[in-house]
Chain A
Amino acid sequence: MHIPDGYLSPSTCAGLCAASAPFWYVSLRRMKRALHTRLVPLLSVFAAFSFIVMMFNLPLPGGTTGHAVGVGVAAIVLGPAASILAISTALTIQAIFFGDGGITAIGANCFNMAIIGSLAAWGVYRFISGRAPIESPRRVMAAACAGYLAINVSALAAAVEFGIQPWLFHDASGAPLYAPYPLRIAIPAMMIGHLTVAGLAELVISAGVVAYLQRADPGLLRATAPGAACEASTAGWRSTKPLWIALAVLMVLTPLGILAAGSAWGEWSSEDFTSASARAEIAAASGNVAAPLVPPAGMQRLASFWTAPMPRYAPPFLKSASFGYLLSGVAGTGLTILVFLFAGWILNRQ
């Protein structure tokens, strides 16, 4: 992925350097505003970290090993602006001091890996992780996809840059002056290696680091996850907020229940069997089959077993039926919530 000198024409290198300049400028301004005096040490140390991570020999599925760029980790932990600057710095030192990547191709390498890679990783991570809690496995999956896609999009950009060279720059005999392969060869040749080995290396490091940070230091993942729930209780409140509102509305509307005439079928009391009006309602609701003249013996015996404090949703101490109905609704809902809160407390203690 690190393009050496001689693969791209000077004009391509200059063009990509010019294309990178606005991203560097905007990122630097943003970071200066956000970090002020912390800018220099944070970017320096993080660039050094990215440099070292690029040297890690990562074991990959299938028994092979590979090196990652670390752009996924940088974008997820620091955000795109800091990632662009940190990875660009690491790539510049690699090119000038260690000869990994060409000096004339610094702009191209930064454009492909630091800029396209950071933006792709950040976008994919934010899109897939959404508002998932920091500890959610969804974030690990999002990091894996972010790393894998970022490195492949960067590789595709490099492949396109290689592929247009023979078309644009060749001598009088037709011999390519720079990268010799056209797009139809450059793209598959570049992508096969990145879709398999390099992409997997980036996937492993991005997902692995996010999974590790979720356990060891979740705070480091919060900077780029502003919408994520911090704790389970907050997540619960956020996700159930509409239900609580609906419950409150329903409670206010409970007096509407009084409008319904008579009792629900089968919910009769022993007194209903002796009341003429209630008997008529029972018969009407039961296909004109008359109810027994005396209440069933079992019903009579059990009716006195428990006397409800608010019988028929009408507390005896209230004269207003509507208010009694409303109060019954509030009391019932409150008791249900209390029961579940108590059960939750017991379960949490265990």
Chain B
Amino acid sequence: MKSNFIERTLASLLSASEYAAAAESVASSGGTLQRVDPRVKVAGLFGLILVVAASRGLRSIGAVFGVAVLLALLSRVPLSRLAGWVWMPVMFFTGTIAAPAIFLTPGEAMASLGPISITEQGLHSAAFLISRAETAATLSALLVLTTPWPWVLKALRTFRLPAVLVVILGMTYRYVFVILETARDMFESRKSRTVGVLEPADRRRLSAAAAGVLLGKSLQLSGEVHLAMQSRGFRGEVHVMHDFRARAADWCWLGGFASTAALALWAGAV
């Protein structure tokens, strides 16, 4: 079928579910990072992401990328999955944006390709963009692939994020999958009833109606969830339990993260 948007939408919905399921499975495997206190991981990996963003040296960014790959290997995160989920999409997206910069950035010409020339500054600029994007995306993927989402949220609460926001983030994540399931069912049932090719206007009407139905169902669901919360004693006050206990190993990890970040920052600034 020409431009089968139902199948494409189904594919995006499915890939989100698959990613979440795979992330959960990797997070529950007994790798190195999985055993580290989530607060240390959140602080350490966020810190490294900030260092990557602030660094002015390609070598230091490359070194942090190396550390990220090493951590992935130690945490039993398959590199093939990391490549499929993170490296390839980032390279495709950022590479497309960065490639013209090689020619468009003014500077010293290194090579000529007919009327256009590759500049040293352009190459540097493209390398900065791609390396920063790849390294930061790898580090944030490591956090999610080695930590269950509720623990990430609890760790964020430690860093003074308001409790109500933490609860909203947690509930949103949970209901993403409920609504995702509903949307998938809606599109699958529509696909099973569709014979032949839909006209473009019908396709648009179908998408908008699907979004409208999903909106109505979501608001109805929020009402039901609200009643369920109230029946369990919810009166608007939000409390998040803290049950993390840092061990000596966690403090060592924190020290390791801090040293790596400081070293990369120093190397990047030189």
Please report A residues at the B interface, Cβ cutoff 8 Å: 4-7, 9-10, 13, 28, 32, 36-49, 51-53, 55-61, 63, 65, 70, 73, 77, 85, 89-90, 92-93, 95-99, 102-104, 166, 171, 173-181, 185, 204-205, 207-209, 211-213, 216-217, 220
Contacts of A28 in B (CB 8 A): 162, 164-165
Contacts of B126 in A (CB 8 A): 180
Contacts of A49 in B (CB 8 A): 179, 214-215, 218
Residue of B46, B56, B212, B238 touching A209 (CB-CB under 8 A):
B212
A5 touches B204 (CB 8 A): no
Instruction: Identify the interface centre among A6, A55, A73, A173: most chain B CB within 10 Å of its CB.
Output: A6
Q: Of residues 134 to 170 in B, which have CB atoms within 8 Å of A's CB atoms?
A: 135-137, 140-141, 143-144, 149, 152, 162, 164-165, 167-169
A48 touches B178 (CB 8 A): yes
Instruction: Identify the interface centre among A63, A174, A185, A205: most chain B CB within 10 Å of its CB.
Output: A174
Please report B residues at the A interface, Cβ cutoff 8 Å: 3, 5, 8-9, 12-13, 16, 19-20, 23, 46, 49-50, 52-54, 56, 85-86, 90, 93-94, 98, 101, 104-108, 120-122, 124-126, 128-129, 131-133, 135-137, 140-141, 143-144, 149, 152, 162, 164-165, 167-169, 171-176, 178-180, 183, 200, 203-205, 207-216, 218-219, 221-223, 225-226, 229-230, 234-236, 238
Residue of A77, A104, A212 touching B49 (CB-CB under 8 A):
A104
For the complex of A and B, the 10 pairs showing the least CB-CB separation, nearest first, are A208-B208, A6-B132, A5-B136, A212-B212, A44-B171, A175-B124, A45-B222, A180-B101, A48-B175, A175-B121
Please, how many angstroms separate the alpha-carbon atoms of A77 and B215 in the complex?
A: 9
15 contacts between A and B (CB under 8 A): A40-B168, A42-B219, A43-B168, A52-B176, A53-B214, A59-B204, A65-B8, A95-B140, A171-B56, A171-B124, A204-B204, A208-B212, A212-B211, A217-B212, A217-B216
Please, how many angstroms separate the alpha-carbon atoms of A6 and B65 in the complex?
A: 13
Residue of A38, A61, A175, A212 touching B226 (CB-CB under 8 A):
A38
Q: Which residue of A lies closest to B123 (CB)?
A: A175
Given A173-B107, A208-B208, A209-B215, A47 contacting B168 (CB threshold 8 A)? yes
Q: How many A-B residue pairs have CB under 8 A?
A: 265
Q: Which residue of A lies closest to B15 (CB)?
A: A55
A181 touches B104 (CB 8 A): yes
A174 touches B106 (CB 8 A): yes
Query: B239 to nearest A CB, angstroms?
Result: 12
Query: B140 to nearest A CB, angstroms?
Result: 5
Please, how many angstroms separate the alpha-carbon atoms of A319 and B120 in the complex?
A: 107
B179 touches A48 (CB 8 A): yes
Given A7-B129, A59-B3, A180-B105, A220 contacting B49 (CB threshold 8 A)? no
Residue of A9, A171, A207 touching B208 (CB-CB under 8 A):
A207
B205 touches A208 (CB 8 A): yes
A41 touches B225 (CB 8 A): yes
Q: Is the interface of A mostly helix, strand, loop or mixed?
A: helix
Residue of B107, B208, B223 touching A211 (CB-CB under 8 A):
B208
Instruction: Identify the interface centre among B23, B152, B218: most chain A CB within 10 Å of its CB.
Output: B218
B128 touches A178 (CB 8 A): yes
B218 touches A48 (CB 8 A): yes
Residue of B101, B121, B235 touching A37 (CB-CB under 8 A):
B235
A176 touches B176 (CB 8 A): no
B209 touches A212 (CB 8 A): yes
Please, how many angstroms separate the alpha-carbon atoms of A209 and B211 in the complex?
A: 6
Please, how many angstroms separate the alpha-carbon atoms of A293 and B210 in the complex?
A: 83
Given A59-B207, A103-B140, A90 contacting B172 (CB threshold 8 A)? yes
A104 touches B218 (CB 8 A): no
Please, how many angstroms separate the alpha-carbon atoms of A234 and B40 in the complex?
A: 62
Contacts of B106 in A (CB 8 A): 174
Query: A335 to nearest B CB, angstroms?
Result: 47
Beyond A45-B172, A65-B5, A89-B172: 19 further Cβ-contacts under 8 Å? A5-B49, A6-B133, A10-B53, A40-B164, A40-B168, A40-B234, A41-B223, A52-B183, A56-B210, A58-B204, A104-B136, A176-B125, A178-B129, A179-B129, A180-B101, A185-B104, A216-B212, A220-B215, A220-B216
Contacts of B204 in A (CB 8 A): 58-60, 204, 208
